[in-house]
Structures are given as C-alpha cells and as structure tokens.
Structure 1
Amino acid sequence: MASNDHGQVGGQGLTEFVDRYKRYMQQKEETNEFIRDLLVYADSVESNLREENSQLHQLLGNTRLDLDDATKSRRDLQLRLRDMETRLGIAPDRNPYVMVLIDGDGLLFKEHLVRQGAVGGRKAADELRKAVTEKFSYAEETPIEVVAEIVANVSGLSKAMKRDGCLDNEATLYDFVSGFNQAKAPFHFVDLGYSKDAADAKLLCSARFHLRNFNCKLILMGVSHDVTYAPYLDHLIHDETFKQRIIVLEGCPTVQDIVSTGITITSFKNIFRSDKLRVHSPQSETTQAASPPPSVSYAAITQTKASPPPQITLPIPLKRANTPARTVKPPTPAWNPGPRGLDPLIQVNSVALERLKKRKGGDKLCNNHFLRGPCTKGDECDFEHNYNPTKDEKNVIALFARLSPCTKGQDCDIDNCIYGHHCPSVVNGICSHPHCKFRVDEHPPGTKFKYPRHADW
C-alpha cells in the first residue's frame, strides 16, 4: 500500500512540473512576440522621426536662404535710398516747404506796394514770406521754406491798373515784377501773356506736382476770384491725402462755387487787395450811336412768349378828329458795358438746348474741351470728353460757357474768349438766371432780378 501511495505522489509532481513548463514556454513565447512587436514599433517611430528631421533641416535651410535674401534686399534698398537722397540733396522731413500759387490777374497786391516799383516788389516778397512763415510754421526745430509762383498777363494787367487809376505808368508794374523776382530765389512772377488757359494749366499742373512731393507740407492757391478752379478744388478735398494740404488764399471775396466746396480759406489783408479793379469806359465809347445786338440768353430761350401783333404802316397818315398830338421820345441809347462791349450773338437750337440741359453731374459736357480743346485737366476733369457734339450742340455749349463771367471782365482782350463779359440772361430788363454769377454793374442799368442774389464783391 505504501509503495502505491508513493507512486501516486510522484506522478502528480511530474504532471505539475510539466504544466508549469508549458506555461513557462507559452509566457516566453509571448514575451518574445512582445519584444518583436516593440522592436518593429521602435523602428517605425525612428523612421518617422528621421523623415521629419530631414524635412525640418530642409525648411531651416530654406528659411536661412530667405533671411539672407531679405537682409541683402534691405541693405540694397538702404543703399539706394541713401544714394537717392545724396543725389537729390534732401532727406525725409529735412526740407519742408509751403507752396504759394497765385493767379496774378485776379489776386492783386496792395496799391501802395505796386506803386513803389522794384522796391515794392521786394517788399511784397518779404512780407508774403513772413506772413506765410508766421501763420503756417511746420516745426520749431525745422525752419520751413516758402516757395511762390505767380502767373499773370502783365501787359494786360498793367493797362487795367492804369485805367483803374492805381498806376500812372504801365512800366511801374514791370518794375514791381522785377523786384519781386529779385527778392528771394524761390519766388517767381511769370508773365504768360494773353493766354488764360495757359495760366490755369500752369497753376493746376504745379499744384498736382507739389501735392505729390512729401516735402511740400501745404499749398496756398490764390484763386478765390475764379470760378473755373472750383471743380478741381472740389475734387481735391474729397481725397483724404490732399484735403488737409491745400488752402485757398483770398483777395476779393471768394466766389460762391469755391466756398460751396467747403475748402479752407485764408487771407493776408495787409498784402493783397480785397477789391477788384474798377472799369472806366472811354467817353467816345459811351456815346456810340449803335451797339451789337444783345446775345441770346439762357432765359430768353427757355421762356415762351406770344409774338406781338403785326403793325400796319400806311403811306399817308389818317386824320383823327380831336386827337391830341403825342410827343415821340427819342430812342434810348443801347447799353454799353465797357471797353469790350457786348458779346456777339449766339443762335441756339431749342431742341439741342433741352437735350444738353438733361445732362447732369459728370455727364455734363466740358466747355473748355469742346470749345478750345483739348481740356488741360485731362483725366482729372470732372466733365465728359468722349462725345461728338453737333454744330447746334456746340452753340449750346458756347451759351453755357457764357453763363460764367470772364475773370477780366471788360478788360479782356482775347478775341475768342468763351466766357461772358456781361450777363447774357437779361430779358426785358429782368435777369432770369436762378444762380447768376455776374455783378450788378455787369447788367444793363435798372435790371431787376427774378431770384435772390448773393452779395456782390
């Protein structure tokens, strides 16, 4: 019995050992499999890291190239800027200046200055520079320069000033201009002769040039008397870049069209006249027996009136009983507005007139372009250029231009001047234009006005 029990115990120990061995081998196999999987995963991670590292090295290399290129470009730009500043003789904000642009046919210096000739010209330049510097100082540490350009028809202006009585000799104005030019290097008084278009174009081109110059801090434009500058000024003040850099310099009160733009207006009352030249008509012209027929006006065409009944003239006067004799008044002499006289008649087709009246805003035709063309303002003009008007339409355009007064009035000696030299809107003694721009003395004596007027200047 004892041997059998011992055999049973020995058999159970062997079975247990075999089971443990199997479990060990299974665990070992699992461990080996885990290690193989771990090695595969580690190899995959290492491969990915190597690939990412390679990409980062490539990006770093490209970034270094970009940085080197940017550094080189910046240095090149610095060298070019320094070279440009050296050649131009300027540096940013080290040469600020105020530009004074004056239409000398309308903005006139005080009489006491002009009468002094060359001495007065130098005084006028000094006073103008001093007034601008005191009123528009730019920075305390940087002195500001004043540059002045005046354009005018010196010959025509000297004659007008002599007729006005503020000059005894026309040569005095030439002496004044010479003195003005001699006073300061950047001061120029330019005689442009009889071309009004040349004066307008020169001032506007100068304004555009200086507004694009960063050293130009301000532009004073002495054009308060001339309505033709209003569209250009209106265009400028709607540009935020230029709005704060342009001011109208006033002599005689500014025309309403410029005031309506909202532009800033200033004046130097001790330097410039606040009144216009007076017009004196020669005695021989006031006693002329006949004058040209009055021009057809805008008001005359738009008003429809019945024709007067026909009059019958008999070869032998009829006798009337108890009819008192009537005194026949002599005909009233035709009105003569001044030296230039009345503008010639413009025949206008009413259909063409109504057609062009319907064009509004920027669709309106440019008077200068179609009457004298091409327009000196080019693409910056606010009116239409791309149009082919008929002959009748050109007559209407000429009529519209007549509604704007010529800045020289009766002193104008330009034969083909397109502007009006007296009001063309007077019909039967009544001015019917709602926004008449002519002064009272540019209407026939006794003219009544259908609409309220602004104060004359």
Structure 2
Amino acid sequence: MNGYMDSSAVLAQIEGFKKSDGDRESLLMKLIKQLEDLKEKYEEKCDDHENERQSRRRLQRNCDDMKAQLTSARQTMESSPFVLALIDGDGLIFQDMLLSAGREGGSDAAHRLNAAIRTHILSLYENAGQWAIMVQIFANFEGLSHKLASLNIIKYPTELNAFAQSFSLNQPLFSFVDVGRGKERADHKIKETLRVFIVNPSCKHILFAGCHDYGYLPNLEPYKHDPAMSSRITLVESTPAQPVYSSLNMKIISFDDIFRNTPLPERAFMPMQQLKSSLPPTQPSSVATAPPPVQPPPVQPPPVRAPVIAQPVAKSPTPPADSTWASVGKTGITEKKISIASNKTPRRYIVFNADGERLDLPIAKADRASQDSLHQRIKKGKVCNDYHLKGRCENIGCPYSHAPRLTQMETLVLRNKARGLSCVQGSDCFDFNCYFGHVCANYYCDGGPQCYFGHRHKDQMDTAPAKKYYEDGTEEDVPYPG
C-alpha cells in the first residue's frame, strides 16, 4: 500500500512495545525491591557487627578487669596466708612444769607451741615459711584453775590468769580465752570458729585440738570424703584420740613436750593412811567453820615450881605439866589461885557420809548489815578468798583486795558465798582448808545446767555424817542419831 505499514501491524507492534515496557518496569521494580531488602539486611548485619564488636570489647575489658582482680586477690592471699590452731583448753592441758611456772611458763608454752606448729606446717607445704600462725584456746578458767590448784600444779587459781596473759602476749596472734562456766561454751566457740575459717582462702591449714571429745565429730565428718578439705586439717591429740577420729582421713599428731599425754587425776587427795603418815605433828587449830585462826604463841619449856612464900598450913600447888609461865605466874610472885581450865583449841575435822563422800559442816548466817557492808566493799574491788578465809595468801601478784581485813561477820558472809561454789574435787576433797561447797545447799535444786554440783544433792546422796577425820590424822565414827 504505497510503501506504508498496515495500521493493524503498527498497533500490534505498539502493543508489543507496551508489553516490553511493562516487563522492563516490572523487572526494575523487582530489582529495586531486592535492592531495598539487601540494603535492610546489610544494615542489620552492620548493626549486629557493631554490637558484636562492642560486646567483644566490653567482654575484653571485663576479662581484663577480672584478671586484674584475680591477680590482686591472689597477691592478697599470698601476702597474708595463715595457719589456725583451735584448742579445747579444758581437754588439752599444758604440761605441769609450764603451768607451775606461771607467767614464765605461759611465755615458754607460747614459744614452744609456735615452733612446733611451724615445724609441722613446713613438713606439709614448701612455701609456708612466712605464713602467720594463729592460736585460739578456749577454756573455763574458773573450773580449770581450781582443778589445777587442787592438784597442786599451781598454788592459787589466779595463777592461771597470769599464765594465760603471758601466753597471749608472747605471740601477736595467740589468744587464751576464758569462756566462763558451762561445758558447751568452749565447744560452741570452737565449732563456730572452725565453720568460719574452713572456707577462708587465706587460712591455709587448720590444726584442730579436740580429739578427746566425740562432740566435735559431726563438725569434721563432712570433710572426710573431700581430699582438698581433709588435707587442710590436722588433728592434735594429747591423751589418745577417740578411735572414731582415725576414720576421718586426717593426719593426727601430738605435742608431748607441750601438752599432757595423760588426763588430770580425778582425785586430788592421798589415801587416809598416807595422809596420816605425811602430816607433821602440829598443834590443833580451830574448828572447820571458824574464821582463820590466830597463830598460837610458841610453846615454852615445862616450868619449874615458882618460889613462893610458904604459909603455915598450905603448900604451893604444883602446876600441871603442860602449863606455861603465862598460866602459872612470873618468877618471884606468889599466886593464890591457878586456873586449870584447858586452853586447847578444839581439833579441826571434816566429815564424810557412810559412802565416803565429803559433807559440809553447817555455818551460821550473817546479819543483813554485814551482807550489805561486804557487798559495798566488793563493788570497789573483789576481795581475796584465801586471805580472808584461810588467813593467808601466798600469791605475790594477787589482784584481789587484802586490806583492810574483813570483820568477823563480813568474813562469815564471804564464807557463805564461797560455800555456794562447787569444790572441783567434789566428794573426794580432803582439804581441811577448803572453803568451797561439796553438797548443793539448795534442797529443792533439780541439778539443772545452772547448778555446778552435779549429782551432789541432798535428795541424791546420804547427808548423814558417818565419819570424822581430824587434821592430826585420827578419825572417829559419828554415832547415828536416834
């Protein structure tokens, strides 16, 4: 048609172009969408990467800080490592020679114990040369001191205080602690101290001295199957340890030159036959419940008859053999009357029941004014029992009041107070000067934990006197009343 395209062909071609443009546009839109998706994912990855980078750096900083803290902690632990010795002072008793030496003995005991512990620790650890040594001894001073004094290991109960003070002062980390009356007090202190220090990383090793008592076993058993813990504990025995302690997988040692390897004797007196033979002949003293006696004047040689002026029907009387110039007269002086009354002081004695248990002789009660007077005196400072009740105190460093001497009634108040304290020798006491109680004076006492007389109660024992023992060694039966 004259060289022109058919319109239908053109339209068809145009439609083809339109379709092609649509496909191209669709493709472009898909590409754009994919690009947007990729961009979003890229940005997320970038954010994740940044977070990871920051986290890594933060963790690195934390790691560096932890390393620094760990290094510091290790340096701190290594700069102050120590060994702890826990000792039940009521069960592990120092050697007699140390205790009897008083202050010097306390210092010597601390020095010996420090050296013995150091030697043991060096046998276990190579780098323990600079480790500090801490020693904690817990004991009931009142009961222990009276027991030691009754056995003549120390002269006076107060000497244990001097020993303990010197022991504590000799080494900076040594402490001899008085926990007061009551068996459980020392046990509780030791158990709690063990619980706290066993998990302390600076505490490299513990020496536990309480193998005489089964009561500590539950506190040690949890560690016997843990080698890391059991290897850090050494058991110290004086008297042989209870057999069950050998099953704890812990080393057991002893310090025989420091602690007794035998228990303290239960009885602190000699049999009566030995007592009689050992007593020197003495002039009889005052009765057991009287105040401290005044020393009698020296015995004079038997007097000769004094020259007298003879009377026509009377003869001068002959003085008795045991009289003195004080009772007859002075030379050259005529006496018309001579007293023949006995000046002998009643013999002092102690009494026992039919079972051989010591009883307490009754003592009078003082008036209220004297009780108040002594109470006010004690407020200013405790008085010395030995000085005021025995009449003498041989403790040079006695911290208690001696002067002025108590009145007779105040002394009676003090004697009643002392009678309320239990004698450590109990029913076996043969001390004629003992002012402590041997039977609980409270008839209605049930013997609970607040009472220190044990089974020695009036409803649990025979309180009828059956035997008197005199200070000169003689004895006599007491007739049963009725």
> TM-score normalised to the size of structure 1?
0.51
CA contact (8 A) 1:162 1:169 kept: yes
Q: Match of 2:354, as an amino acid?
A: A
Task: Kindly state the Cα deviation for residue 172 of structure 1 after the two structures are TM-superposed.
Answer: 3.5
* 2:354 corresponding residue in structure 1: 289
Using the TM superposition, give the Cα deviation of residue 125 of structure 1 relative to its aligned residue in structure 2, in angstroms. Answer: 0.9
Residue 101 (structure 2) pairs with residue 101 (structure 1): no
The residue identity in structure 1 corresponding to 2:112 is E
Match of 1:274 in 2: 261
CA distance in 2, matches of 1:106, 1:35: 104
Letter in 2 for 1:121: G
Gaps of 5+ in 2: 1-19, 273-348, 358-425, 430-436, 441-447, 456-482
Shift of 1:211: 1.3
Kept in 2, the 8 Å contact 1:164–1:279? The answer is no
Q: CA deviation at 1:161?
A: 2.2
The equivalent of 2:56 in structure 1 is 67
Superposition deviation, residue 90 in structure 1: 7.4
Identify the residue that residue 10 of structure 2 maps to in structure 1. none
Q: CA RMSD in A?
A: 4.5
Amino acid at match of 1:222: A
**CA deviation after TM superposition for structure 1 residue 179, in Å:** 1.5
Q: Tell me which moved more, 255-264 or 277-286.
A: 277-286
In the TM superposition, residue 122 of structure 1 has moved relative to its aligned partner by 1.2
Q: Does 1:55 align with 2:44?
A: yes
Aligned-partner Cα distance in 2 for 1:141–1:200: 29
- Identical aligned residues as a percent: 26
Contact 2:89 2:137 in 1 (8 A): yes
Query: Of the candidates 198, 203, 206, which is equivalent to residue 216 of structure 1?
Result: 203
> Which of the residues 213, 235, 238 maps onto 1:248?
235
Superposition deviation, residue 257 in structure 1: 3.4
Q: SS at 1:204's partner residue?
A: helix
SS at match of 1:166: coil
Unmatched tracts of structure 1, length 5 or more: 1-30, 293-335, 344-370, 373-412, 418-457
Q: Which residue type is aligned with residue 201 of structure 1?
A: H
**How far is 1:39 from its partner?**
7.4
Of the structure 1 ranges 189-198 and 97-106, higher mean CA displacement relative to structure 2 is found in: 189-198
| Matched AA of 2:49 | L
Give, in whole Å, the separation in 2 of the partners of 1:259 and 1:342: 40
3-state SS, counterpart of residue 93 of structure 1: helix
Counterpart in 1 of 2:452? 414
Q: How big is the shift at 1:65?
A: 3.4
One-letter amino acid of the structure 2 residue matched with residue 95 of structure 1: S
Identify which range, 204-213 or 275-284, moves more after superposition: 275-284
CA distance in 2 between counterparts of 1:224 and 1:286 reads 39
Higher helix share: 1
Whole-Å Cα distance in 1 between the matches of residues 150 and 75 of structure 2? Answer: 47
Cα deviations across residues 390-434 of structure 1 (Å, max 9, x unaligned)? xxxxxxxxxxxxxxxxxxxxxxx83469xxxxxxxxxxxxxxxxx
Looking at structure 2, the residues matched to 50 and 93 of structure 1 have their Cα atoms a distance apart, in angstroms, of 57
How far, CA to CA, are the matches of 1:141 and 1:108 in structure 2?
28
1:133 equivalent to 2:122? Answer no
Letter in 2 for 1:187: F
Aligned partner of 2:259: which letter? F
Could you say if the C-alpha distance between residues 281 and 117 of structure 1 is closer, same or farther in structure 2, counting changes exceeding 3 Å? closer
Deviations 1:199-220 (A, max 9, x none): 1111111111111211001111
Query: Partner of 2:102 in structure 1?
Result: 117
CA contact (8 A) 1:113 1:120 kept: yes
Q: Secondary structure at the match of 2:166?
A: helix
Give the match for residue 77 of structure 2.
92
Residue 165 of structure 1 and its aligned partner are, at CA, apart by 4.1
Q: 1:78 to 1:415 in 2, by over 3 A?
A: farther
Partner residue of 1:192 out of 175, 179, 182 = 179
2:101 maps to amino acid: Q
Counterpart secondary structure, 2:138: strand
> Deviation at 1:157?
1.4
Matched residue SS, 2:78? coil
Q: Does 1:159 align with 2:146?
A: yes
Greater displacement, 283-292 / 228-237 = 283-292
Distance of aligned partners of 1:205 and 1:141 in 2 relative to their CA distance in 1, 3 Å threshold: closer
1:252 is displaced (CA, Å) by 0.4
1:120 Cα shift? Answer: 1.6
Partner residue in 1 for 2:315? none
* C-alpha separation in 2, matches of 1:131 and 1:195: 30
Mapping of 1:55-454 within 5 angstroms? 55-71=44-60, 73=62, 91-137=76-122, 138-140=125-127, 143-239=130-226, 242-280=229-267, 288-290=353-355, 338=428, 414-415=452-453
For the 8 Å contact 1:121–1:179, the answer to whether it is kept is: yes
Map Cα deviations across residues 170-210 of structure 1 (whole Å, 9 max, x no partner). 34433221220110110001112222111111111111111
**Structure 1 Cα separation of the partners of residues 171 and 81 of structure 2:** 17
Counterpart CA distance in 2 for 1:285 and 1:168 is 22
The residue correspondences of 1:3-14 to structure 2 (distance < 5 A) are: none
Q: Distance in 1 between matches of 2:192 and 2:70?
A: 27
Question: Is the 1:291–1:342 contact (alpha carbons within 8 Å) kept by the matching residues of 2?
Answer: no
Aligned-partner Cα distance in 1 for 2:355–2:119 = 55
* CA distance 1:258–1:337, change in 2 (3 Å): farther
Q: 1:127 to 1:286 in 2, by over 3 A?
A: farther
Query: Are residues 162 and 139 of structure 1, via their aligned partners in 2, closer, same or farther at CA, if it must alter by over 3 Å?
Result: same
1: CA distance, partners of 2:59 / 2:143: 61
**Residues 278 and 286 of structure 1: CA distance in aligned 2, closer, same or farther (over 3 Å):** farther
Query: TM-score, normalized by length of structure 2?
Result: 0.49
